[in-house]
Amino acid sequence: MKRNNLYKLIKRILLPIGALAVILTLLVISCKQEFEKTIPDQTYSDSVNVIYGQPKVLYVIADGIRGQSIQAAAPPNVNTLLKNAIYSWVSLGDEETTEPGTNWTSLLTGVSRTKHGVVNNDFSNTNLDTYPLIYTRIKDADPEANIRVFTTSQLFKDNLTADTDESEVLPDDDAVASAAVTALGEEQVDFITVHFSNPNAVGASEGYDISKPVYKSAILTFDDQLGELLNALKARPTYSEENWLVVVTSSIGGNYPIADNDNTIFSNPIANTFTIFSAPRYQTRYISKPFVGNRFQGDFARFEGQRHAILENNDANTIYNLDTGEFTIELKIKKNKPIKNIYPALLGKRPEWSSGGPSNGWVVFLEDNYWQFNARGTGDGNQVRGGTLADASWSSVAVVGVIRDGTRFIRTYTNGAFNNETDIQGWGNLDNDAPLTIGYINGNGHGEPDAYVADVRIWKAALPDDVISTYACQTSIDENHPYYPYLAGYWPVANNTNGTIIDEGIFGNHLTLTTDDFSYDRLNDYLCAPSTDDLGALVPRTFDIPTQIFTWLKISRQESWQLDGKTWLDQ
């Protein structure tokens, strides 16, 4: 029945006796029935799915197991955890550490080395008063929580067991497993950390790869010990009434040659760990290696020292003045790590590149681990910062001069993503008589480059954000590009062409290499690979694990704790 008809009927029957309350009640019932027909009875969650009861944690840490090695070994007890787990074989430890102490501390504080201060196995400058152990945080939230730690390392016990109810150093991994099994049989236990070290000792001696039989055997022995812990856990009389989160991880991988080196942190075998968060209520979520970029192959000119290429046709050079209009400059950069000198120029049109940028024109240059665009005109000048450049792989950078509401702006992009914007209306006209140059530009106060430059494109239009992002990581341009009619120059800078850098654009303004000592190197590297920080955020890291545990234990994380980790969801 329509609500209007229902209302008229009720009014005709009941209004004489003043039954306003009845009218309202019937209207609410009718609306509720219609509402229930349109809203499905379904609940969505954006938080970790936990059972509200008695949350407890079994935390298993193994030194020296590479994620790729344990994945290849396919140990049965590890694999039984995966059907109800958030897990990854490409989780990450600290990129610069070679000994497990740094990662132990991150695994037990939730912050990185730069905060907790532990470098490798050196605990002399720890900052654990500001960033205390997870055990301290748990005790603050629940003083009655019973916490046990079993390890083979005196260093681990002496530095990383504060505020535990029991911490014991045992002679070997078998003894550690046995002590932990005994503890799991006791009623009053809430958090057990079990630390194994034998895989690391074997890997250091034999090699960290399952092609080494002794190392593979050490991984399978660790798996047997894990199986003992899981059996003891499930044998607890109160297990069905408790909510156990099982965390299994390696503190550090091990040095071993990588067959397919992609020049990212994922090719650092020491940083390659594995992480498993397992609980009965978790759905399976596998976190794989993220996309690290497209392959960019070819023979590329290395702009090292004072090597450079110029456009010798003076008449054609005027095309690449930026005057007061709109433009876009794009290029690919592969810098050789580390940057040897400050402010090396890679591409520009300027009479000189000197301190203070005294001459009119523009230049793209390197600074620290990022790039910048500098320009000066008839009015003023300055620079606009680009983004961070990956080490040992290609990055795509772009500079766009755009006019909005009569005001001129410079916008910078790295790998298709926007970086910064600056109002340059006061800079004036950027024209000059200098040649377009790739590589070194004469001047003082700056260093010489050591980098590869390729796929240089200059447009007489301001390419919009969506076009920048769509084409930034492609390695060629043709007539299908929506702004192709505005392409003023396109230099792939690939393949040796006898001292000439070919312009494949419509003008054919080829550049000339100024020396004969250019080297063309065969490269097959990734393009548009995310930075190490960006990549790391896409997989579990050592300092994520305490954050996951706090969430499981229903301990509210405080902003003042300054945790670096994040919570991983099973959705």
Domains 56-291+532-561 and 295-527 share a fold: no
Backbone angles phi and psi of 116, in degrees to 5:
-80, -20
Tell me the fold of 295-527: Jelly Rolls (2.60.120)
Buried b (16+ CB within 10 A) or exposed e, 275-310: bbbbbeebeeeebebbebbeebebebbbbbbebbbb
- Check residue 556 and give its pLDDT: 94
> In the chain, what are the domain boundaries?
3-38, 56-291+532-561, 295-527
Task: Tell me, yes or no, if the pTM score tops 0.95.
Answer: no
Q: How many CB atoms lie within 10 A of CB 157?
A: 18
CATH homologous superfamily of domain 56-291+532-561? Alkaline Phosphatase, subunit A (3.40.720.10)
Per-residue pLDDT of the chain (571 residues; tens, 9 = 90+): 434 444 343 344 443 444 434 333 443 344 333 333 333 333 333 344 444 468 999 999 999 999 999 999 999 999 999 999 999 999 999 999 999 999 999 999 999 999 999 999 999 999 999 999 999 999 999 999 999 999 999 999 999 999 999 999 999 999 999 999 999 999 999 999 999 999 999 999 999 999 999 999 999 999 999 999 999 999 999 999 999 999 999 999 999 998 777 777 888 999 999 999 999 999 999 999 887 778 899 999 999 999 999 999 989 999 999 999 999 999 999 998 666 668 999 999 999 999 887 899 999 999 988 999 999 999 999 999 999 888 778 999 999 999 999 999 999 999 999 999 999 999 999 999 999 999 999 999 888 999 999 999 999 999 999 999 999 999 889 999 999 999 999 999 988 888 899 999 999 999 999 887 888 899 988 898 776 667 778 899 999 999 999 999 999 999 999 999 999 998 7
User: What pLDDT is attached to residue 28?
Assistant: 37
Q: Rounded to the nearest 5 degrees, what angle is found at the Cα of 263, between the Cα atoms of 262 and 264?
A: 90
Q: Which contacts qualify for 179-186: CB closer than 8 Å, 24 or more apart?
A: 179/150, 180/148, 180/150, 180/229, 180/232, 181/228, 181/229, 181/232, 183/148, 183/150, 184/58, 184/229, 184/232, 184/233, 184/235, 184/236, 185/232, 185/235, 185/236
